[in-house]
Amino acid sequence: MVVPFVWMVLTSLKTLGDSTQVPPVIIPRKWNWSNYAEVIAALPFLKFYWNTIVTTAAKTAGQLLLCSMAAYAFARFRFPGRHFLFIVALSVLMVPGQVFLIPQYMIMKHLGWLNSLLALIVPGLFSAFGTFLLRQFFMTLPKELEEAAKMDGCNPFGVFWKIMLPQARSGLIALGIFVILWSWNDLMWPMIVINSPDKMPLSVGLASLQGEHTTNYPILMAGSLLAIWPLIVIYILFQRHFIEGIAFTGSK
């Protein structure tokens, strides 16, 4: 299981010559850090980090807020059209992503958002999945606390904000983890809407690295490691939440 990762690290520290030896040099003869320097020189990796982090943070925060609001309304309020709107949201989930892509691209074009981070962020703020997941979660929470707060004259939004959100912490974390994972690693949509290097997220940056250095593996491996380490570190630090998040969606 770990061999690919170990090989990635080892290769990233080899010279091109060492990497194409037969039989292969397993441990680099000379620890060659210049591949990292070369990657950073070839592509604006710092920009890639920035773009990825901004996009991921905005999408995560946005989805958590918007989805939890909608989810709460669907879970607790009665209003005309509730059933219909909920079915509409659900049916969005039945459609494979490819069906949205071309029109989404055209919308971005008309809004003049192509090649900007807005194109990466805005469509990702709205999520039928997140709404549904959190609605399910809210439904399992007891109503007593809310009732009490209502008695105290708190308005519905206040109840949601002060009482419900704190209780829904684990559901929010689960959704947040998914959004982070998808956003960080998504390839196709950014590839479609972004075309200048200073707006690229890491995933597209990596694809263009491959486009340039097709088979220069030490460089490619160095680039890959630069792109994946932040998420791996986050994962190791918050492992428990990740595991619970996955298990949570599996058991609901």
- Subset of 193-232 contacting other proteins (CB under 8 A): 195-198, 202-203, 206-212, 214-217, 220-221, 224-225, 227-228, 231-232
Would you say 148 or 187 has its CB closer to other proteins? 187
Among 118, 145, 165, 246, binds other proteins (CB under 8 A): 246
Binding of other proteins by 176 (CB under 8 A): no
Would you say 142 or 153 has its CB closer to other proteins? 153
Question: Which amino acid appears at position 207 of this protein?
Answer: A
Among 22, 27, 46, 151, binds other proteins (CB under 8 A): 22
End-to-end CA gap in the chain: 29
Question: Which amino acid appears at position 230 of this protein?
Answer: P
Among 40, 54, 114, 154, binds other proteins (CB under 8 A): 114
CA distances from 3 to 29, 113, 143 (A): 19, 41, 50
Q: What is the DSSP string of 205-222?
A: HHHHHHHHSTT-HHHHHH
CB 205 within 8 A of CB 48: yes
Q: Supply the minimum distance, in Å, between the C-beta of residue 81 and other proteins.
A: 9
How many contiguous H segments (helices) and E segments (strands) does the chain have?
16, 0
Question: Which amino acid appears at position 81 of this protein?
Answer: G
Would you say 33 or 65 has its CB closer to other proteins? 65
The window from 31-39, 99-107, 141-149, 165-173 that contacts other proteins (CB under 8 A) reads 99-107
Binding of other proteins by 97 (CB under 8 A): yes
Binding of other proteins by 19 (CB under 8 A): yes
Binding of other proteins by 96 (CB under 8 A): yes
Among 45, 48, 132, 138, binds other proteins (CB under 8 A): 132
Binding of other proteins by 39 (CB under 8 A): no
Would you say 41 or 166 has its CB closer to other proteins? 41
Site string for other proteins, 53-82 (x = CB under 8 A): ------x------xx-xx-xxx--xxxx-x
How many Å apart are CA 89 and CA 60, to the nearest integer? 19
CA distances from 148 to 73, 90, 139, 162, 240 (A): 18, 32, 17, 12, 33
Helix (H) or strand (E) holding 66: helix 45-76
